[in-house]
Structure 1
């Protein structure tokens, strides 16, 4: 009798352990989408394609460190509202990032257009901002996650609260380790 009770207990415990192991396994997250903007796809669209085929960039110039090329967008608006300043960057001749400045008054209009284009943000934050005169502003920030970076839209720029800022920042791979050599000392 004691043996049968022990076997029942072992069987029940094994079933409980099996159930807890399967329920503890987190679901596999869906892969993140590629970031695309005005026909340019991050890490894929070349400078030549953006300039010659899409005809979306002009006045390209190398960055000061000559690692990237910065270009202005041609005749550009965002969701039918003016853009105050903008540039896109190309690293290794491929679209890698952008910065757009818009009026903070258009933030709500633009956030709706961005949600329509990219879905709900993966992260939303709000922290109060205050200028040197004590005026306070809403520091709303929405971030969309993509396979090669993040798109962040801030209601107010830190250095100019009258403007909003839309930034696609690539996720940079770690720099390859340089092999050790006596010459590098």
Structure 2
């Protein structure tokens, strides 16, 4: 790539990576051969594995996996980053700790314990804070009902949403000024 510094250094595995890339190109020219799609998928996964193997050591990814505590591993930080990203994207869905943990292929207890150790709050408190901030924005900016806001931020029950909102902000959602 035309960068001053390489984003990912493959070190001694550069030859294997490039050889596999050539195999992918060659295989893509034979779409009618039995097992073509499966073989392409396997080779692409192999390429991703080569990339991921070296990703944690480059300076770009270090920006995202900066360790907050000396006793936190990169894997734990990556898990919390993935959980935070997942919650940021899916906050408006009906989520539980179990569904978030399952999507990240870890146990709910491990996710909760690791998230709290690094972020200082549980994944559910992070989700609630995210939902409440978004709900307040919606109530202040748009002329929609409390029921619509509740659904927009992932609460199925508008009464429960109102109760959480009041506990979080000290005022009912109907009292937020536009």
Please report the TM-score for the alignment, with normalisation by the length of structure 1. Answer: 0.24
Instruction: Tell me which protein shows more helix as a share of its residues.
Output: 2
Query: Which structure: greater strand fraction?
Result: 1
Larger Rg: 1
